[in-house]
Amino acid sequence: MNTAAQRPGNLRTGFGPAPDAVALREQPGIVRVPTPFGPSAWMLTRHADVRRMLGDAESFRNGWGPEDLDGMRRDPRQLSGDRSGNLLSLDPPDHTRLRRMLTPEFTVRRMRRLEPRIVEIVDEHLDAMERGGAPADLVSQFALPIPSLVICELLGVPPSDQAEFQARTNRQLDTTLPEEEKARLAEEMLAYMEDLVARARRDPGEDLLGMLIREHDDELSNAELVGIGNLLLVAGHETTSNMLGLGTLALLRHPDQLALVRDDPDSVPKAVEELLRWLSVVNGGSPRMATRDVEIAGTTIRRGDLVVFNLPAANRDPELTDDPDRLDITRPTTPHLGFGHGVHHCLGAPLARMEMRIAFPALLRRFPGLRLAVPDEEVAFATHQAIYGLEELPVAW
C-alpha cells in the first residue's frame, strides 16, 4: 500500500515498486510517512522487516489509532462497523475461529475439485477470443472474467445468475465510477450475497457456502457468511485477474521466458512464483497497530504507533534474492510475500496458483504468436488502483 501523498515518486509506473519505496528500503532504519487516514505511520520496506512484523500477530494488530487498543473506536473502512467474516480486518481470536473453519475448504486437495471446471472456463474464453479475432483486449476478455467465473463456481452462484454477477463484479472494479455508483453496486452485491446465503441455508450444495453451512451451521452467522463471500469476491478476483494481465505483459517482454512457460510444463509452477514476487500486485495491506514497544531495524516502535508496509519493495529486496529486479523464472523459489505472511497469509493462495498455472500456458499454447497490438509504451498501467494492474492489454496473434 502506498500511503504517502500521491506525488510522482510515490506511484508505480511499470513493473517495479514505487521509487519512494525503493529509496526508503535503501536507507538505514525506518521512517515515518504521512497517511491518508490521519496519523503518520512507520513504513516497512525491507523483506526481513515486513516478514517479521506480519509474523507477529500479538505485537501488531489491525488498527488506526491508540483507541483501537482498547476496542473503543470503529474501523473507518467499515462504515457499518461490521467486520463480520472479513478475515483481513479481524485479529485473533475472532480471526482464528473463522480461519479454522475456512482452511479445510482451501486445501490443495479440495481446490483440485475445481480444476476441471477452471480448465473449461479458460478454454471457453480462449475459444471466444479466437472467434472474435485480433486485436483483442486480454484484460476484459480473459484476465477479468476467468477469476470472476471461478469465484462463481466456488460460492455456488447458479448459472442463471452468473452473467449478472460477473457484470456487477466488473463494474465494482472500475475505479473511475462516481462514489454514488460504487455505493449502489456495493449495496446490490450485499443484497445478492444475503440472498445466496439464504438459499444455501435452505439447500446446502457442494460449494464453499454449502459446505460451511453443513459443517459449521451453528457456529456461523448469516452476516459472517455474507462477509466471507464478499471477501472472496474482492480478494479472489481482482488480485488474480491483475496477475494474469500483468504476467502476460511481463512474459511478452521476456520472450525467452515466455517460451519456457509455453513449452515446458515443469517450468510453470516456478514461473508463477517468480511472477508473484516480481509483480507484487498487492501493494500492502491493512495498517497494523503496535500493541507493545517493539524494535525493528534499530528503531523502537512504541505501543499505539501505526505501521504500514510495501510488498513490492520487500519482494525486490537484494537481501531476499540475487539481482531482484530481473525477472528469472528459473531462479530458486523465494519466500516472497506475494500472498502476505503469518496469520493473514492469503487463504486462497492454492486457488490463485492453480488458476495461473492453468491460464498462462493455455493462453500461450493457443496463441503461440501472441504479441502486443499497440506500441509497448502505450500499454496503460492502472497506477491509482489499490490492486496494481493494467487498464487494458491489446494483443494480436
Q: Report how far residue 110's alpha carbon sits from residue 376's, in angstroms, rounded to the nearest whole number.
A: 40
DSSP bridge partners of 31:
43
pLDDT band for position 134 (50/70/90)? very high
**pLDDT score of 314:** 98
Q: Which domain holds residue 24?
A: 19-396
CATH number at residue 255: 1.10.630.10
Residue 332 lies in a domain: yes
> Tell me, what amino acid is at 157?
V
**12 domain residue, yes or no:** no
- Domain total for the chain? 1
DSSP summary character for residue 394: E
* pLDDT score of 125 more than 50: yes
Closest CA to 113 of 121, 125, 105: 105
Distance CA 340, CA 334 (A): 13
From the list 271, 272, 247, 246, the residue with the least C-alpha distance to 352 is 272
User: Does some domain include residue 14?
Assistant: no
Task: Kindly list the distances between the CA atom of residue 80 and the CA atoms of 76, 83, 234, 317, in Å, as whole numbers in the listed order.
Answer: 9, 8, 18, 38
Q: Is residue 7 part of a domain?
A: no
Mean of the per-residue pLDDT values for the chain?
87
Q: Which amino acid is at 134?
A: A
pLDDT in tens, 40-95: 999 999 999 999 999 999 999 986 555 455 543 434 333 334 556 677 777 788 88
Q: What pLDDT does residue 84 have?
A: 67
DSSP 379: P
Of 15, 20, 16, residue with least CA distance to 3:
20
Q: Looking at the predicted structure, is the pLDDT value of residue 100 above 90?
A: no
| Residue 352 placed within a domain | yes
Q: Does residue 91 form part of some domain? A: yes
Coil, strand or helix: which one is 130? helix
Is residue 375, in this structure, part of any structural domain at all? Answer: yes
Give one DSSP letter per residue of 231-252, joined into a string: HHHHHHHHHHHHHHHHHHHHHH
| Distance between first and last Cα of the chain | 35
Prediction pTM value: 0.89
| pLDDT at 312 exceeding the cut of 50 | yes
Contact of 309 with 50, CB cutoff 8 Å: yes
Instruction: Classify residue 99: in a domain, yes or no.
Output: yes
